[in-house]
Amino acid sequence: MHLAFNILALAYIGAYSERSVGVPRYVVIYILSGIAGVLFHSVIASYILGTGHVILIGASGAISGVLGIAAATGNTRAYYWLVLQIVFAIFGSFAVFPIAFTAHIGGFLAGVILTKLFVRIERKKRSRYYNPSNKSNDTW
């Protein structure tokens, strides 16, 4: 069931996210979000919940990072995923769920932060090549 929901989320928003940032950035954000999700989960599980002994397997953080790309680029529906994961993480801390909801949250946050960072870098790069106040850059 968990795998099916992850695949559904990726199918639903993956293409939008890829078009929004381009394939190379998409791949980088996907991988780094997966790593960030694992780290976020490890910190929360080990130091707050006391469940750090649980084995973590999967790409949930990376897939949530893709949803983070969508959120950072203006698709507000992607934030529903984050809210849902927070609710499940809180509920899951009282119940016994073998799902690392905090990895989803960490991956999502990493996706948002990395996307905003890439956008800022791209804007800086473009502003170097074209400065509207500098008339010598005009091609007209």
* Cα separation, 2 vs 10, whole angstroms: 12
Question: 136 pLDDT exceeds 60?
Answer: no
Cβ-based neighbour number of residue 21 at 10 Å? 23
Per-residue pLDDT tens digits for 77-102: 888 888 888 887 777 666 666 677 78
pLDDT at 83: 87
pLDDT at 92: 67
Per-residue pLDDT tens digits for 51-78: 666 667 778 899 999 999 999 999 988 8
Task: Tell me whether residue 125 is exposed, middle or buried, using C-beta atoms within 10 angstroms of its C-beta: 0 to 12, 13 to 18, 19 or more.
Answer: exposed
Question: 50 pLDDT exceeds 60?
Answer: yes
Task: Tell me whether residue 109 is exposed, middle or buried, using C-beta atoms within 10 angstroms of its C-beta: 0 to 12, 13 to 18, 19 or more.
Answer: buried
Query: What are the structural domain ranges in the chain?
Result: 17-124
